[in-house]
A and B are shown apart, each in its own frame.
Chain A
Amino acid sequence: MSFYRRYRDIFLVILLLAVPFFFLRASIRNPEDLNVIDRTLMRVMAPVQFLAAASARRLSQWFSDYVYLVDVRRDNNRLSREVQRLRHDVRQLAQVEAENERLRGLLGLKESLAVETVSAAITTKTPTEFFRVAQLAIDHGGARVLQNMPVIGPGGAVGLIRTVSGDSATVQLVADAGFGVDVVVPRTRARGFVRGIGDESKYTVKVEYVRRADEVEVGDLLVTSGVGCRFPEGIAVAKVTEVVKRDFGSYQAVIAEPTVDFSRLDSVLVVVGQVPGDCPRLESVGRNP
C-alpha cells in the first residue's frame, strides 16, 4: 500500500465521518429538512418501500390468520373439555345437593322420632314383579335389624323389614298386599286399617274398617295410630284419594295413596328401638294381622 493511498483512505474515512457529523446538528433539530438528493432518492424509493410494506402486510396477515386459527382450534378443544368437566361438576353438585336435602330430611325425621333408628340406603327397588320390595343396604352400626321392623322414609311409613341377610335386607312396602297398619285420620280421629292392594300398576292402598259414620274426605292424611306396637304413633302412611260411602254396611270404602314416593326413595330409617308405650319388644312381635 503506497503512502499516498494510505493517507487517501484515512482522509476519506475522516471525510465520511466529518461530513455527516457536520450536517447532523441541523438534521437532528429539523429532521424534515432534507436536501435535494435525499428528497429525490426518497421519492424514487417510495414505491419500493410501499411494495415491501404491502407484501409484508399480506404475509403477516396470512401468518396471523394461520396462527390464530391454530389457537382457535386449540382453544375450542380446551374449552370443550372445560365445558364437559364443568357439566360433570354441576351434575355432581346437583346430586350432592339433592343428597344433602334428602339427608337433611332424614335427619329431621330421625330427630323427630322418639325411638332409636338406624339409617339405610336403598340399593335396589322392586327386584321381582310379584312382590313390591326394596333391597336395602343397612348402615346398621352394630344395631340388630330384624324381620318386621318398621321402615320410615322422609315422607312417612315405607314398610316393614321382610328378610335380613347380613348387612342387607328386603322391605315389604306399604303398597304390598301383605302389609297392614292401624291408622287414624288426625283431623277427625277416625280410625282404619291400611292394607296394601298389591296393584302392580300403581302404588295404592285401601283403608279398611272405617266406620260409615266417620268423617273422611279426599285429601285427608292417614297416620299411624301406634296400635299394634309396630310403627311409632303419628307417622304418615297415606293420603285419601277416594271415599265411597255406602248406604248399607258398617264401613265405608276408602282408597288412599302412600305418602312416600317410592320411586324417589334413596334413604330410609329402620326403627330398631322400643316403640314408646306399653309395647312388647320388637323381637317378639309377629306379623301384622
Chain B
Amino acid sequence: MRSTAYLLVGLVLILLQGVVFRFLPWVSGVSLLGVELRPLLTGITPNLVLPMVVYLGIHEDSMARGALLSFGLGWELDLLGGGPAFIHRFTLVAVWWLSKIASSRVSTQSVVMRLPLAFAASLAESAIILTLLAIFGQDSKRPLELSALLLPRAISTTLLAPAVFDLSHRLAIFAWGGPSRAPANVGSGTVGGQGR
C-alpha cells in the first residue's frame, strides 16, 4: 500500500516535472526587482522525485523497500522522463543510498537541515549522470555542455524539496493508516524507524 502510494505519487510528480517547462514562458517574462528572470531560468527544470528519494533515504528504515522504491521511481523516470534507459534507475538508487548514509551521519532534524542534503543529492545525481554519459556516451562534449545545467537544476530542486518532503510525509502518515500510526518524528525530521 505504502509502496504503491509512493510510486503513484512519484508518477504524478514526474508528469508534473515534465510539464513545468510550459509554465516557464510567462514566469520568465517577469522581472524581479528590475532583474529579468529569463536568463536565470535556463535549465531550472527540477527533479521532483529526487527529494522523495532523499526522504526515503532518511526515513525509510527498510533498506530493501527503500532501494526498491528508489529503483521503481527511477524506472518511472526512465520511462517518462526521457534519457537513456536504466540511467535513473541507477542514479536514484545511488542517491537513496548516499542519503541513507548521510542521514545517519549528519543531522536531518528539520526541513532547513534537510535542504542542504537535497541540494547535495541533486548535485550528486547530476554528477553521476554526467559521469556515466562521459564514460559510456559517444559524444564526449555533451556532458560538458550539460554541466551548465547542474547548478540551476540543483537550486530549483532544492527550492521545491520542502513541498515534496511535506508530501512524502503526508503520504507516510496516510500509508500508515493515520497520523497516530505514522512515525511520530517523521514530521520533525528524525528517522522514522528509530522512533518506533
Contact = CB atoms under 8 A, between A and B. Distances in A.
Interface string B62-82: 111001101100110011100
A12 interface: yes
Contacts of A34: 85
Contacts, number: 102
Interface in A35-70: 35, 38, 41-42, 45, 48-49, 52-53, 55-57, 59-60, 63-64, 67-68
Contact of A52 (B18, B23, B133): B18
Contact of B79 (A21, A42, A57, A60): A42
A9 B11 CA distance: 25
B84 A9 contact: no
Interface in B1-45: 11, 15-16, 18-19, 22-23, 25-26, 29
B63 A13 contact: yes
B22 A56 contact: yes
A64 B85 contact: no
Interface stretch (B89-97, B113-121, B147-155, B171-179): B89-97
Nearest to B23: A60
Given A9-B67, A28-B132, A16 B15 contact: no
Residue among A12, A28, A52, A57 having the largest count of chain B Cβ atoms under 10 Å: A28
B22 A60 contact: yes
Nearest to B30: A67
A127 B62 CA distance: 103
B138 interface: yes
A41 B79 contact: yes
A166 to B, nearest CB: 55
B15 A48 contact: yes
B195 interface: no
A12 B64 contact: yes
A50 to B, nearest CB: 10
A78 to B, nearest CB: 14
A221 to B, nearest CB: 65
A60 to B, nearest CB: 4
A34 B80 CA distance: 13
A17 B90 contact: yes
A17 B93 contact: yes
Main SS at interface, chain A: helix
Contact of B67 (A16, A23, A45): A16
A17 B138 contact: no
B127 interface: no
B87 A8 contact: no
A10 interface: yes
A144 interface: no
Please provide the 6 A-B residue pairs with the shortest distance between their CB atoms, ordered closest to farther.
A56-B19, A9-B63, A20-B90, A20-B86, A60-B22, A52-B15
Interface of A: 8-10, 12-13, 16-17, 19-21, 23-25, 27-29, 31, 34-35, 38, 41-42, 45, 48-49, 52-53, 55-57, 59-60, 63-64, 67-68, 71
Interface of B: 11, 15-16, 18-19, 22-23, 25-26, 29, 62-64, 67-68, 70-71, 74-75, 78-80, 83-87, 89-90, 93-94, 97, 132-133, 136-138
Given A20-B89, A67-B29, 17 more contacts: A9-B62, A13-B63, A13-B93, A16-B67, A16-B70, A16-B89, A17-B94, A20-B87, A20-B90, A20-B93, A29-B136, A31-B83, A31-B84, A41-B75, A60-B25, A64-B26, A67-B26
26 contacts: A9-B62, A9-B63, A9-B64, A12-B63, A13-B63, A13-B67, A16-B67, A16-B70, A19-B86, A20-B89, A23-B86, A27-B84, A27-B85, A28-B132, A28-B136, A29-B136, A35-B85, A42-B79, A45-B79, A45-B80, A48-B15, A49-B80, A52-B16, A56-B23, A60-B23, A71-B29
